[in-house]
Amino acid sequence: MQMSIVVLIISIVLFFVLFFGIGFILNMLLRMSWVMAIIYPIIAIFIVDKVGFAEYFTNSKYAFQDLWSRISALAAADIFILISGLAGAIAAGFTIKLLRKSGYQMF
């Protein structure tokens, strides 16, 4: 299935803004600047895989093989979209650090 360039650009911006916002709020509430950048790979795995969470513990060989096959089958557009989400999470960490260094105290 082909993805148009407009859908790709909107998806990249959407993932960046979405994970920037979630990361900013988590960083502000938990006072840990890089919490979303650490959690994001787990969220990306949940986005990519189709296996239930419990199956990673009950049938881990199948679950990890399926996860690897799905990650290796991602299209370039999907990879760009997921990377933009990670960039948003990292940008939220830098923004919180900059604001705290400038003297803003959030909660």
In a domain, residue 19? The reply is yes
- CA 46/CA 84 separation, integer angstroms: 16
Is residue 70 in a domain?
Answer: yes
Asked, for residue 107, whether it belongs to a domain, the answer is no
Q: Quick check: is 22 in a domain?
A: yes
Structural domain including 32 reads 5-101
- Residue 81 forms part of a structural domain: yes
Position 100 scores a pLDDT of: 87
Within-domain flag for 86: yes
Question: Does any domain span residue 106?
Answer: no
Q: Is residue 39 part of a domain?
A: yes
pLDDT of residue 1: 67
The size of the chain, in residues, is 107
Instruction: Specify the pLDDT at position 21.
Output: 95
Total domains in the chain come to 1
pLDDT in tens, the chain (107 residues): 688 999 999 999 999 999 999 999 998 888 887 888 899 999 999 999 988 889 989 999 999 999 999 999 999 999 999 999 999 999 999 998 898 889 887 65
This prediction has a pTM of 0.85
